[in-house]
């Protein structure tokens, strides 16, 4: 597979240190076999997340110097507002310190106890914030997303039949579903389903169904530009359009969005809510002041807002996106060629190892994906993240594990940070673990926290 050179020069570097396998065995044991407890200085290639880990451009760094750190109405806020308007078409913007803070403010404004929020697939913080409001989160993605080898080009799509059937049961006396369903959300790309894209046709369809039931549509926009690249590449009739044009159309089907700018706005910290309705904006500002600080800074400094404004337009570069998604594919294809089971097609921001097929002898109650993260670390100092039974959690009533269909290790690639030689190295590490897979043992808890257990749980070999 051809891989074009990176379309940038590297101006600043951060040295990284490779540890020995003996050191890593000691470190991971001390960390309770949980990669979240390993200091990043003891990680050689850190693929824990693509969030807040991007390298900023010279233009973004220069933007820090024009930060106007005013409490109210900094010039950088207006630059951000204008950039969001140009890129997404939304006139009203409330900055927040990250994506989940945007969820907190938006859901506090719109979601009430007893309501239900459908999404193609909720990210875990989104689900947690829906539940925090006393509402329920349901996932209505197409079935293909649960099949690790289905080659549907838009595996992140919402199942429009499921959505329609769902909304039909929620219609109230006013003839809409609005009293029970405050919004329909669409996550682009679908992170929890393997970084899979959502098509324009599907977004249009969601809008039409939601309109029939009088329900607003919001986009969880964390990886909107990567989603647009897939549309340009795969959706019939879209090849001649610019990414900017496709992005505009994507958002034209929504009433607003929540954004974790730590992904596709190429910054280390930041987020926002954007919307069309002035009335909703007014209502949301009340919560924004309470949770995030004044409505023109949202827990951030002016310089952060400036970097975000600049990143939001930079990410639309097709050269950048081709390199970005190409790098993820470059890693994924090496694994496929070596017979390593991964989620297909390869997604936008990460390669997801399929732990059920990688370690078929380890039952789900011995956490095969968690065990695989441990082995990748011991083998080569590579840090991925478990997206499987440990993350899914246990039933609060019975304490029993909830077993997800997909048991995965996500290798998320930070934007503009690693070179293709780093990817070659990661592929080698994964292949070496795959070659010795029959020797890998499962894990059991020595400490299981009651909520969000994946972050602080401790394990030992079973």
Give the catalytic positions in this structure: 71, 123-124, 220, 222, 263, 454
Its sign, for the CA torsion 28, 16, 428, 412, is positive
Helix axes 21-30, 368-380, angle to 10 degrees: 140
The partner residues of 405 in beta bridges, in order of sequence, read: none
C-beta of 60 vs 191, nearer to ligand F0G: 191
Contact present, 81 and 298 (Cβ < 8 Å): no
Select from 95, 195, 271, 414 the one that contacts ligand F0G (CB under 6 A): 271
Contact present, 269 and 262 (Cβ < 8 Å): yes
CA 87 to chain centre: 20
Q: Is 191 a binder of ligand F0G (CB under 6 A)?
A: yes
Contact present, 459 and 446 (Cβ < 8 Å): yes
Q: Is 98 a binder of ligand F0G (CB under 6 A)?
A: yes
CA separation for the pair 157, 317 (Å, rounded) = 24
Number of chain residues interacting with ligand F0G (CB under 6 A): 15
Q: How many CB atoms lie within 10 A of CB 13?
A: 7
C-beta of 199 vs 260, nearer to ligand F0G: 260
CA separation for the pair 325, 404 (Å, rounded) = 27
Q: Is 120 a binder of ligand F0G (CB under 6 A)?
A: no
Q: How far is CA 198 from CA 39, 51, 183, 330, in A?
A: 35, 20, 18, 22
Q: Is 51 a binder of ligand F0G (CB under 6 A)?
A: yes
Q: How far is the CB of 286 from ligand F0G (least distance, A)?
A: 21
Q: How far is the CB of 358 from ligand F0G (least distance, A)?
A: 21
Helix axes 318-337, 420-435, angle to 10 degrees: 20
Select from 32, 63, 95, 99 the one that contacts ligand F0G (CB under 6 A): 99
CA separation for the pair 330, 427 (Å, rounded) = 9
C-beta of 177 vs 408, nearer to ligand F0G: 408
Q: Give the residue among 265, 257, 190 at the shortest CA–CA distance from 230.
A: 190
DSSP state of 290: H
Q: How far is CA 164 from CA 144, 181, 296, in A?
A: 18, 12, 38
Q: Is 96 a binder of ligand F0G (CB under 6 A)?
A: no
Which residue number places its CB atom closest to ligand F0G? Answer: 99
Q: Is 139 a binder of ligand F0G (CB under 6 A)?
A: no
The span of 93-101, 229-237, 280-288, 423-431 binding ligand F0G (CB under 6 A) equals: 93-101
Q: How far is the CB of 416 from ligand F0G (least distance, A)?
A: 17
Q: Is 115 a binder of ligand F0G (CB under 6 A)?
A: no
Q: Is 356 a binder of ligand F0G (CB under 6 A)?
A: no
DSSP state of 422: H
Q: Is 373 a binder of ligand F0G (CB under 6 A)?
A: no
Q: Is 187 a binder of ligand F0G (CB under 6 A)?
A: yes
User: Whose structure tokens read 């006013």?
Assistant: 174
C-beta of 74 vs 191, nearer to ligand F0G: 191
C-beta of 51 vs 115, nearer to ligand F0G: 51
Give Cβ neighbours of residue 147 (< 8 Å, ≥ 6 apart).
none
Q: How far is the CB of 81 from ligand F0G (least distance, A)?
A: 19
CA separation for the pair 101, 112 (Å, rounded) = 17
Residue list 278-337, contact with ligand F0G (CB under 6 A): none
C-beta of 131 vs 428, nearer to ligand F0G: 131
Q: How far is the CB of 249 from ligand F0G (least distance, A)?
A: 20
C-beta of 76 vs 125, nearer to ligand F0G: 125
Q: How far is CA 305 from CA 61, 91, 98, 266, 283, in A?
A: 12, 16, 12, 12, 22
Select from 262, 324, 366, 415 the one that contacts ligand F0G (CB under 6 A): 262
Q: Is 100 a binder of ligand F0G (CB under 6 A)?
A: yes
CA 169 to chain centre: 30
Q: How far is the CB of 351 from ligand F0G (least distance, A)?
A: 14
Q: Is 49 a binder of ligand F0G (CB under 6 A)?
A: yes
Residue list 213-232, contact with ligand F0G (CB under 6 A): 220, 222
The span of 53-61, 96-104, 156-164, 392-400 binding ligand F0G (CB under 6 A) equals: 96-104
The span of 92-100, 110-118, 135-143, 447-455 binding ligand F0G (CB under 6 A) equals: 92-100
CA separation for the pair 390, 362 (Å, rounded) = 14
Q: Is 260 a binder of ligand F0G (CB under 6 A)?
A: yes
Q: Is 54 a binder of ligand F0G (CB under 6 A)?
A: no
Residue numbers at the binding site for ligand F0G (CB under 6 A): 49, 51, 98-100, 123, 125-126, 187, 191, 220, 222, 260, 262, 271
């Amino acid at each position: 597979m051809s891989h074009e050179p990176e379309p940038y020069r590297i101006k600043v570097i951060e040295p990284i240190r490779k540890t020995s396998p003996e050191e890593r065995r000691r470190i991971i044991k001390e960390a309770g076999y949980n990669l979240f407890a390993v200091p990043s200085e003891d990680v050689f290639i850190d693929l824990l997340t693509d969030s807040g880990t991007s390298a900023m451009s010279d233009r973004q760094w220069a933007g820090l110097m024009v930060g106007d750190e005013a409490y109210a109405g900094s010039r950088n806020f207006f630059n951000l507002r204008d950039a969001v308007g140009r890129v997404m078409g939304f006139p009203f913007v409330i900055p927040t310190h990250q994506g989940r803070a945007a969820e907190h403010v938006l859901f506090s404004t719109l979601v009430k106890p007893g309501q239900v929020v459908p999404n193609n697939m909720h990210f875990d913080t989104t689900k947690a914030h829906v539940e925090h409001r006393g509402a329920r989160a349901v996932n209505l993605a197409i079935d293909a997303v649960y099949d690790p080898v289905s080659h549907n080009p838009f595996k992140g799509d919402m199942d429009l039949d499921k959505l329609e059937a769902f909304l039909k049961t929620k219609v109230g006396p006013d003839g809409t579903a609005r009293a029970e369903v405050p919004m329909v959300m669409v996550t682009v790309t679908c992170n929890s389903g393997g970084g899979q894209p959502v098509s324009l046709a599907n977004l249009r369809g969601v809008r039409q169904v939601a309109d029939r039931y009088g329900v607003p549509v919001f986009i969880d926009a964390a990886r909107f530009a990567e989603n647009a690249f897939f549309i340009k590449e795969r959706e019939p009739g879209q090849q001649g359009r610019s990414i900017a044009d496709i992005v505009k159309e994507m958002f034209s089907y929504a009433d607003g969005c929540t954004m974790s700018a730590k992904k596709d706005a190429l910054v280390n910290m930041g987020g926002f809510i954007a919307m069309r309705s002035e009335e909703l904006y007014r209502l949301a500002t009340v919560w924004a002041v309470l949770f995030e600080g004044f409505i023109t800074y949202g827990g951030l400094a002016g310089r952060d807002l400036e970097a975000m404004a600049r990143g939001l337009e930079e990410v639309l570069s097709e050269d950048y996106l081709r390199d970005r998604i190409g790098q993820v594919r470059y890693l994924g294809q090496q694994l496929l060629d070596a017979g390593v089971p991964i989620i297909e097609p390869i997604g936008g921001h990460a390669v997801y190892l399929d732990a059920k097929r990688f370690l078929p002898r380890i039952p789900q109650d011995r956490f095969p994906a968690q065990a695989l993260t441990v082995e990748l670390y011991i083998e080569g100092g590579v840090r991925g993240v478990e997206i499987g039974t440990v993350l899914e959690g246990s039933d609060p009533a019975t304490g029993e594990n909830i077993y997800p269909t997909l048991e995965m290790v996500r290798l998320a690639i930070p934007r503009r940070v690693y070179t293709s030689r780093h990817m070659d190295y990661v592929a080698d590490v994964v292949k070496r673990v795959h070659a010795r897979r029959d020797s890998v043992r499962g894990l059991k808890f020595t400490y299981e926290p009651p909520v969000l257990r994946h972050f602080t749980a401790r394990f030992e070999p079973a």
